[in-house]
Amino acid sequence: MARSSAVTVKIPTQTHIKLLQLAHEDDVSMGEIITDLVNRYETERFWQGVKEDYDRLKRDPVAWQEYIDEVKEIDAAGFDDPDGLLFGDEE
């Protein structure tokens, strides 16, 4: 990993101890763990936003039906949705 400028972040002592232990156990720097956690958090927030958008869309029956119809057109064109991510439990 390329070195970059460093900053100081205040965290609780217990969190620092846990971070040190994890870094030692995994043979990585504390910065790498923090970077990984920030990236995971960012991804989690993104998918939570997607879920909230779908929930909002489902509350509008007309808009939800338009979405389902559009997805069915895509599906008819050969798009595969093995995990049910587009239709959920609706089909």
Digit-coded pLDDT (tens) for 29-65: 999 999 999 999 999 999 999 999 999 999 999 999 9
Q: Which of 73, 44, 45, 43 is closest to 87 using CA atoms?
A: 73
Number of domains in the chain: 1
For residue 6, tell me if it sits in a domain: no
Instruction: Tell me how far apart the alpha carbons of residues 16 and 74 are, in angstroms, rounded to a whole number.
Output: 49
For residue 18, tell me if it sits in a domain: yes
Task: Give the pLDDT confidence score for residue 46 in this predicted structure.
Answer: 96
Residue 90 in this model has a pLDDT that exceeds 60: no
Task: Give the pLDDT confidence score for residue 49 in this predicted structure.
Answer: 96
Token pair for residue 61? 């029956």
For residue 66, tell me if it sits in a domain: yes
Task: Give the pLDDT confidence score for residue 2 in this predicted structure.
Answer: 63
For residue 82, tell me if it sits in a domain: no
For residue 67, tell me if it sits in a domain: yes
Range of the domain at 64: 13-76
For residue 4, tell me if it sits in a domain: no
Q: Predicted confidence band at 89 (pLDDT cuts at 50, 70, 90)?
A: low
For residue 37, tell me if it sits in a domain: yes
Is the model more confident about 34 or about 87? 34
Is the model more confident about 60 or about 82? 60
For residue 48, tell me if it sits in a domain: yes
